Structure 1
Amino acid sequence: MQRIKCRVTELREVVETIWQVGLEPAEAVAFKPGQYLLVVMSDSDKRPFSIANAPTRSGLELQIGATAENAYAGQVLARMREQGEIEVELAAGKAFLRESSPRPLILMAGGTGFSYVRSILQQLVDSGSERPVFVYWGVRQAHWLYEFDEMCALEQHYAPLTFVPVVQEPDAGWHGRSGLVHKAIMDDFVSLHDYDIYVAGRFEMAGAAREDFKLLGAEPERIFGDAYEFI
């Protein structure tokens, strides 16, 4: 993998505990939409984060969830803040976009797994893809839909896109879909046999989704997610 230093160009809390990070690599980088990079804390400590932009866009973007008790992510943000630069290795991951496939796509994200979906979606938009693409984004509470407005605007301008946000614990002000995000997909599709499905989120969510999607005819080899390398 390529190891390079990156200047931190953006470090912004977009909503409570979720940070938008912009990086400017010292040299050209190569990756596929849907891959991730490793932040090098030391030679024995490399921490993975999905790349949140497509390779068609400049620089590298990350979207990092970091609660007070999450030292794993918090230490990365602290180093970026203190040093203004970070060393990364890329690209990693086998769950990248299969651009040669003609099949429609379902992109499912839980929480900041949206960063993975965002990279793939940007690539589809920038390449002028006409493949139907359904984006399901599940969060625990509605305020964590940190790019809700951007996704709604994109849906209006990019005809192949259908955007479905799903809130697990909605309050009285939420008027959209609620419950588990993968269950919303199962409610909306009679069969998943003809779809390429891309999944990012917690391991337990990814595992449950894969097993349930197979019940609706999804082909296991057409369900992509980095979690499946470990579960």
Structure 2
Amino acid sequence: MQAYAQTECQVTRIEPLTDVVHKVTLLPASPLPFKAGQYIRVVMGEEDKRPFSLATAPSDNVDTLELHIGAGPANSYATEVLDKMLADGRVDVDGGHGKAYLRENLPRPTILMAGGTGFSYTYSLLKEMLAGDVSEPLFLYWGTRTLQDMYKYDELNALAESNKHFRFVPVLEEPPEAWSGKTGWVHKAVLEDFVSLEPYYVYLAGRFEMAGVAREEFHQKGLILEHLFGDAYEFI
């Protein structure tokens, strides 16, 4: 079994991104190696280690780690972690975990797809890819309930304007009246936009139910399953 680096982290900042999502900045006591798209586990107890995707990319060249924690009233699993961080000002973590990291040595057209706070996973991948020499089409589809939930909307639009190979596609379940963009389920928006997914790598994060349906329907659309990456697929 692989041994993972564990380190104590100082909680340097917790700030709201939406009513329920918080950005957490951690300062590890020692460097914690990871690849873009991997996650860390917050140690709540010897047998209780809770995974959170890193929003940080290795190319950020920072000493801190960034998490986006959705801790609404119905999510005690995440809320307990946030409460511990607020109370203690420190936390032990280990990582990096996960096999759904960026395949940097195999450049090809890529679709990043996220539902809700699954965005933090795709954000790490996106930053890492844009820090390199992107010569193939790169898409990010992000689905949220409302526009207010899409806390990086302006930043992503700016990135799309400044990178000719990158396109950002926001998808809303409950769009405002003047909305002219995509609506409904985020994976359906992908299916609508591509004749075939055969040429693409797809990196995906979101609810297990969505991941399972997307795998089946993307495969029917031509996606080679070995080119589909997501932590959910270790469990479903």
* Structure 1 residue ranges without an equivalent (≥5): none
- 1:126 and 2:131 matched: yes
Question: Which residue in 2 is equivalent to 1:180?
Answer: 185
- 1:15 and 2:18 matched: yes
Residue 128 of structure 1 and its aligned partner are, at CA, apart by 2.8
Question: Which residue in 1 is equivalent to 2:146?
Answer: 141
Residue 15 of structure 1 and its aligned partner are, at CA, apart by 0.9
- 1:213 and 2:215 matched: no
Q: Is the 8 A contact 2:205 2:232 kept in 1?
A: yes
Cα distance in 1 for residues equivalent to 2:54 and 2:86: 19
* Equivalences, count: 231
Cα distance in 2 for residues equivalent to 1:43 and 1:3: 13
* Structure 2 residue ranges without an equivalent (≥5): none
Q: Is the 8 A contact 1:191 1:218 kept in 2?
A: yes
Q: Deviations over 1:168-197 (max 9, x none)?
A: 122314332101111111110000000000
- Structure 1 residue aligned with 2:227, among 222, 227, 231? 222
Cα distance in 2 for residues equivalent to 1:128 and 1:54: 15
Residue 125 of structure 1 and its aligned partner are, at CA, apart by 1.5
Residue 102 of structure 1 and its aligned partner are, at CA, apart by 2.1
Amino acid at match of 1:211: E
Q: Deviations over 1:137-157 (max 9, x none)?
A: 001122100100110111111
Q: So what's the TM-score if we normalise by structure 1?
A: 0.97
Cα distance in 1 for residues equivalent to 2:34 and 2:68: 17
Amino acid at match of 1:199: L
Question: Which residue in 1 is equivalent to 2:49?
Answer: 46
Question: Which residue in 1 is equivalent to 2:206?
Answer: 201
Q: Is the 8 A contact 2:7 2:92 kept in 1?
A: yes
Percent identity of equivalent pairs: 49
Question: Which residue in 2 is equivalent to 1:92?
Answer: 97
Cα distance in 2 for residues equivalent to 1:145 and 1:217: 29
Moved more, 165-174 or 57-66: 165-174
Residue 64 of structure 1 and its aligned partner are, at CA, apart by 0.7
Q: Deviations over 1:194-231 (max 9, x none)?
A: 00000000000011111000111000110100101111
Q: Is the 8 A contact 2:6 2:32 kept in 1?
A: no
Cα distance in 1 for residues equivalent to 2:81 and 2:108: 37
Q: Deviations over 1:52-105 (max 9, x none)?
A: 110122121000101112111111111111111111000110000100112110
Dislocated runs of 4+, deviation >3 Å = none
Aligned with 1:119: secondary structure? helix
Cα distance in 2 for residues equivalent to 1:141 and 1:102: 33
Q: Deviations over 1:122-143 (max 9, x none)?
A: 1011223323210000011221
Cα distance in 1 for residues equivalent to 2:136 and 2:84: 40
Amino acid at match of 1:66: A
Q: Is the 8 A contact 2:205 2:211 kept in 1?
A: yes
Cα distance in 2 for residues equivalent to 1:186 and 1:113: 19
Amino acid at match of 1:82: A
